[in-house]
A and B are shown apart, each in its own frame.
Chain A
Amino acid sequence: MSGTERGRGSRIENKSSKIFYLRSSIFDLQSSLIRPILPVVFLALGGVAQNWMDSHRPAPLAVEETLYISSGESIKRASLGFDGLMADVYWIRALLYFGEEFERQRVSNQYFDLSRLKLLQPLLDITVDLDPKHVAAYRFGAVFLPDIDADAAVRFVERGIRNNSGEWRLYQDLGFVHWRRSRFRDAAEAYARGAALPGAPAWMQTMPALMLAKGGERETARAMFLRLYEESDDPFVKQVCEAQLASLDHKFAPEAPQSQRKGKRDH
């Protein structure tokens, strides 16, 4: 190989290495620009695909909620001591079940029928099995369970009272359940027991007499209102007692002349 040929060969080599260098730097530049963008691009494409699938997928069939484990005791044993957390899970599940059923019935233009919520009681039962002091669950049950099974609702709230004997609100709820069933004597008893607890508000004291009056036991109710009126220092309680005494006198003595009834009240 002559010197000229060698010189030409090295020039070609030089040129090709420059081209190679240029190409690789362009490629590097492209990579450094493209690489950070790629995840964003693919995510965006994934989002487009998801939207397409959402618009083409048929609406899911309404699946009836199932309670796979019905024993709170079993869940408690399996929960490794995290039973409070599991109670929260079941409490949220009960609320979601209630909300979903409400929404389902509303969408199908139905009157909200609580008796169709078959899983509400088992869900609440599990919640209080896991956390017997879950007052919110008992109170929720007291409001909604009577429409499903009134006896079970009474037993549920009584269980709450056994586990939380200092909670006057549960007595109020029990009184409410009895009142809804027109069991005024039982309601009066529940309110009376709750009113005796520390922290119970003054109006709870008026409830037993109100319940008895509602149940038609006028004389007992009157005596209770009168005694409460005399014993209480609370102006609100006194005001309620006055109004109720007046109402009782008015309701049960229609034959007496107005002036006579007024005189009786003043006395």
Chain B
Amino acid sequence: MKIIPIALNTFRESARDRALYNLVLLAILLVVASVVIGRIAVGQETKIIIDLGLSALTVFGALIAILLGIGLVSKDIESGAIANILSKPVRRSEFILGKYFGLCLTLFMSSAATATTIAIALIYAEGGVAAAQLRLWPTAWLIFLELAIITAVALLFSCFSSPALSALFALLIFLIGRWSPDLKFLAETSSSAVARAVSRALYHLLPNLANFNYINETARGETAPWRMVAGTTAYAIFYIAAMLAAAALIFNRRNFK
């Protein structure tokens, strides 16, 4: 099993990336700023810290996933390191999985750092530790899953496209994925049969990232129900598996000579 060494190496590589530190730092700065902004919004301090903090976690996390995800495979191809790696007893699918889990580990660490900052900001705003602050963590987990899906999509594009195009495609998938309830609405209400069929196909083909958005409810004081968290986790695992299988398939057929 060569996945773990490749994953750890990818983690070390991405942890050295300056873009990662800049984005995590920006997210943390936004969380700190939310404490100040919350003071302006009378009586809504906690809501604003959660809204702004978790939104920053999502947006900056997505940027990290896209910026680092597109370079996962293409960097090794461009530098020629891929030939060196594949000359060793490493299967191509193992290489893809190792790269993916390495970046996921990076994303997990950066998300945990941002979520911890939000928790500290909440403790400061609420004047102490409260059980209600625990509601943050299931939502942060859902956001991490959303980022893991975006990483898988970016990795898939990275296997057959240039970094710039991969970034564009991954960003578009992120945007459309966030609008997927509208796709469903279109599939249900459009007068054209073709538009209905296309919308329905796209709705099932593209990731439904709206599933992972529980920020509003958390800000209102609700905790994500465990059934919903479990269902969404299962959906994320299946979708990521599909993306990685497709990536491995494409990568297996590529000729690096």
Contacts and interface: CB of A to CB of B under 8 A. Distances in A.
Given A82-B215, A88-B47, A95 B41 contact: yes
Contact of A133 (B40, B182, B220): B220
A98 B63 CA distance: 36
Given A81-B213, A88-B47, A136-B42, 7 more contacts: A81-B178, A82-B55, A85-B55, A91-B41, A92-B48, A133-B220, A136-B44
A84 B216 contact: yes
B39 to A, nearest CB: 10
Contacts of B55: 82, 84-85
Contacts of A85: 51-52, 55, 215
A96 interface: yes
A92 B40 contact: yes
A80, A131, A136: most-surrounded residue (chain B CB, <10 A): A80
Contact of B43 (A81, A84, A133, A136): A136
A92 B37 contact: yes
Contacts of B175: 80
B40 A84 contact: no
B142 to A, nearest CB: 12
Nearest to A164: B220
Q: How large is the interface on A (under 10, 10 to 19, 20 to 34, 35 or more residues)?
A: 10 to 19
Interface string B178-215: 11001000000000000000000000000001100101
Given A95-B42, A136-B42, A84 B182 contact: no
Interface string B43-58: 1100110011001001
B175 to A, nearest CB: 7
Contacts of B216: 83-84, 131
A77 interface: yes
Interface of A: 77, 80-85, 88, 91-92, 95-96, 131, 133, 136
Contacts of A83: 216
Interface residues of B, number: 23
Contact of A91 (B44, B178, B209): B44
Interface in B199-244: 209-210, 213, 215-216, 219-220
A80 B42 contact: no
Contacts of B213: 81
6 contacts: A81-B213, A85-B52, A85-B55, A88-B51, A91-B41, A92-B40
A94 B178 CA distance: 27
Contacts of B37: 92
Contacts of A81: 178, 209-210, 213, 215
A168 to B, nearest CB: 16
A78 to B, nearest CB: 10
Contacts of B219: 84
Contacts of A92: 37, 40-41, 48
Interface string B15-43: 00000000000000000000001001111
A85 B57 CA distance: 13
A256 B196 CA distance: 78
Contact of B40 (A77, A80, A95): A95
Contacts of B48: 88, 92
Contacts of B58: 82
Contacts of A91: 41, 44
Contacts of A77: 179, 182
A92 B52 CA distance: 13
Nearest to B53: A85
Given A131-B216, A133-B220, A84 B41 contact: no
